[in-house]
Amino acid sequence: MQVGVLMFFKREYLTIPNGLSVSRIVFMPLLFLFIITDHRLLFLMLYIILGSTDLLDGLIARKFDLISEIGKTLDSVGDLIFYLGSLTFIYMMFPEVVFNNSIPLLLFFIIFTLSFIVSWVKLGKPILMHTNLLRFNAMMVYFLVISSFLFDTSNFATVILCIYYLAFIDEIAIFLLFNEFDRDAKSVIHLLMEKSRASR
């Protein structure tokens, strides 16, 4: 156990992109505190800052060649916590958006859970991808929370959920069709095209 903890703190893991990914996890309780204490402006400012780290961590990692498997895992965990947290924030501050999408949300969680089950059964572990659709939707969820301070985003949320269905189906197709792939693969179609080119 101690060896595992020490390995996690290897110097090469202590990078700016990894720190940005971890920040989305570490500061999550503060966002909840701002909601509970009704400091919505502070919540909004911190949410905007933390959401921007999702873009920055990837940009910096690619620019300075700091991409690593631990970095991809931290980014995935940070995204999962931040964007599921975003759903909770919407429910706490703008419950009508959630209530107006109760059935689409149920379907979202079914497909989301199915993607975890498929990756676990097929590949031996739960995997979160960073496909183009999932990246796009993460950005849309970010703007959903911010936009909810300005207008009713019920229809916006419905559109996001529908795109998520496509994104998770794309992810499941990758798990079923491939045994090895990069978690940053653009889509199952992109992987199939690469495979076709490689076999020529």
Question: Residue 26 in 3-state DSSP?
Answer: helix
Indicate the average pLDDT of the chain: 89
pLDDT at site 190? 96
10 Å CB burial of residue 179 (0-12, 13-18, 19+) is exposed
Between CA 20 and CA 152 the distance in angstroms is 31
**Does position 80 have pLDDT exceeding 80, yes or no?**
yes
**Does position 23 have pLDDT exceeding 80, yes or no?**
yes
Between CA 57 and CA 53 the distance in angstroms is 6
pLDDT at site 198? 86
Q: How far from chain centre, in Å, is Cα 170?
A: 15
Contact indicator for 93, 40 with CB cutoff of 8 Å = yes
pLDDT digits (tens, 9 = 90+) for 25-70: 999 999 999 999 999 999 999 999 999 988 888 778 777 777 777 8
User: In the chain, where are the structural domains located?
Assistant: 1-93, 95-200
Predicted TM-score of the model (pTM): 0.84
Structure tokens at 103: 């059935």
Between CA 161 and CA 44 the distance in angstroms is 22
Largest CA distance in the chain: 61
Length of the chain: 200
Helix or strand holding residue 119 (H, E): helix 102-123
pLDDT at site 6? 44
Kindly list the distances between the CA atom of residue 97 and the CA atoms of 64, 92, 158, 164, in Å, as whole numbers in the listed order.
40, 10, 9, 17
